[in-house]
Amino acid sequence: MASAFEPSLSSSLSGRQTLSAAAPSMADSLPSINFGFDELRDRMAKFSAKFDAFIEQGRKRVLEERNQFRMNIAELQEDERMKKKDIEILQHKTNTHQQMISKEAAETQEMQAAIASLSAQRDKNKAARDALKQQIAETQKEIDARLAAQRAHAQYVESQSRFNVPELDFWMQNLCLKIEGAGQTDRLKFVYTHIDEKNWEREAWFELSTSSRDYDVRHCRPKIEKEKIEKVLERTNETRDLAVLLKGMRELFVEAMKA
């Protein structure tokens, strides 16, 4: 059925179009209306220019801020590098200072040890000096004593010179006596023989000290009681006669031999 009506529909449409083309358009008969497209276009162009300028300014600001940020980062890095360098220098100075302190401490200890050693040496030298002074003083005293003893002995020898000849020979012959040195300048040794009736060669002796004004018997053989010797010395020192001592000591030796 549709196919039966298609020719007539096409004919109808074609006819209408032909009529429409031949007839005047209704749009042409409408009044013209101004929508302001030019103004809108101009405003849009200005807006685009402002927007582009805004975008450009924003881009420049972003670039400047980025560059400033990079500069700030570079400065911070440079500051950090400088600070690290300063820290290294400070650490080096600290190590050097610590080494100097250790060295000074070691030197101080060495100086203290040297001072202690010198002080000990000084004290030792002082003690040695004092001991030497004391020794010198004692030696001087001993020298003075020996000089005095020598002078006394010289005086004694001078005072007893009368016994040399002929009186001393007399007593030596009659008392069977001989005089020897006793190993010291202020002592004489008197040796007797013919004391022991059983042995005439047997000797008896005593040592006489002449270091002082009074006579003093220091040693004797054989032993004699000290009290008896002191009695003989007392008589000798009273009379200042050596013969009293020689005869008295011989009598004591004879008595000792008989005992």
- Please name every residue paired with 190 in a beta bridge, in sequence order, or none if there are none: 179, 206
115 in the same domain as 180? no
214 in the same domain as 154? no
214 in the same domain as 149? no
254 in the same domain as 168? yes
- Tell me whether residue 14 is in a domain: no
Residue 103 has phi, psi (to 5 degrees) of -65, -45
- Tell me whether residue 190 is in a domain: yes
199 in the same domain as 143? no
Rounded (5°) CA angle 223-193-149: 65
- Tell me whether residue 214 is in a domain: yes
pTM of this prediction? Answer: 0.37
Of 140, 159, 178, the residue at which a domain comes to its end is: 159
Output the DSSP codes for 32-58: P----HHHHHHHHHHHHHHHHHHHHHH
Instruction: Tell me which residue range forms the domain holding 171.
Output: 163-258
- Tell me whether residue 74 is in a domain: no
Report CA-CA distances (Å) from 44 to 41, 57, 58, 147, 244: 5, 19, 20, 147, 171
Report CA-CA distances (Å) from 82 to 67, 72, 225, 251: 22, 15, 110, 120
112 in the same domain as 149? yes
- Tell me whether residue 48 is in a domain: no
155 in the same domain as 169? no
pLDDT confidence of residue 157: 54
* pLDDT tens per residue across span 76-118: 899 889 998 889 998 889 898 889 898 889 988 888 999 999 9
The count of domains in the chain is 2
pLDDT confidence of residue 7: 47
Going from the first residue of the chain to its last (259 residues), give the mean pLDDT of each consecutive group of 10, the final group possibly shorter: 46 49 56 69 87 88 89 89 90 89 89 90 89 88 78 59 59 80 81 87 88 83 90 88 87 87
Q: Which two tokens stand for residue 220?
A: 């004797």
244 in the same domain as 168? yes
- Contact (CB, 8 A) for 249 and 236: no
Handedness of CA 70, 74, 75, 79 (dihedral sign): positive
* pLDDT tens per residue across span 150-177: 676 556 555 555 445 566 677 777 788 8
Of 159, 177, 206, the residue at which a domain comes to its end is: 159
- Tell me whether residue 151 is in a domain: yes
- Contact (CB, 8 A) for 224 and 232: no
Q: Which two tokens stand for residue 153?
A: 């002995």
Cβ neighbours of 200 (radius 10 Å): 10
- Contact (CB, 8 A) for 153 and 185: yes
- Tell me whether residue 187 is in a domain: yes
| Nearest in space to 207 (alpha carbons), one of 187, 223, 226 | 187
- Tell me whether residue 82 is in a domain: no
201 in the same domain as 122? no
Q: Which two tokens stand for residue 167?
A: 């009186």
128 in the same domain as 148? yes
141 in the same domain as 103? yes
Of 120, 137, 159, the residue at which a domain comes to its end is: 159
